[in-house]
Amino acid sequence: MMRSHTHLELWNVDGAILDARDENAAPFPLKVGEQIVVGDTPYQVIEIIDSEPREVDGTLHYRRIVRVK
């Protein structure tokens, strides 16, 4: 039996990956108005475009696409 892994990706609407995390990672912002810090740069989520899980080869991929300012 394959063990399922989790991989999270946070994308900006312009196609740039803001952050990527694996197992036991804190979840990405779930609502508009939340702040995230990428490196040393803080961003505020102004829109969530898409948030969809997919399973590929035993790994559960979550990709959340947001618009930040």
pLDDT digits (tens, 9 = 90+) for 17-54: 888 877 666 666 668 998 888 888 888 989 988 877 77
Measuring CA to CA, which residue among 18, 3, 5, 14 is closest to residue 63? Answer: 18
d(CA 11, CA 57) in angstroms, rounded, equals 22
Tally of CB atoms within 10 A around 62? 17
**Choice between 5 and 35, residue whose per-residue pLDDT is larger:** 35
Measuring CA to CA, which residue among 2, 5, 18, 3 is closest to residue 53? Answer: 5
- Each domain of the chain, given as residue ranges in start order, spans 5-68
Mean pLDDT highest for which of 21-25, 58-62, 63-67? 63-67
pTM over 0.85? The answer is no
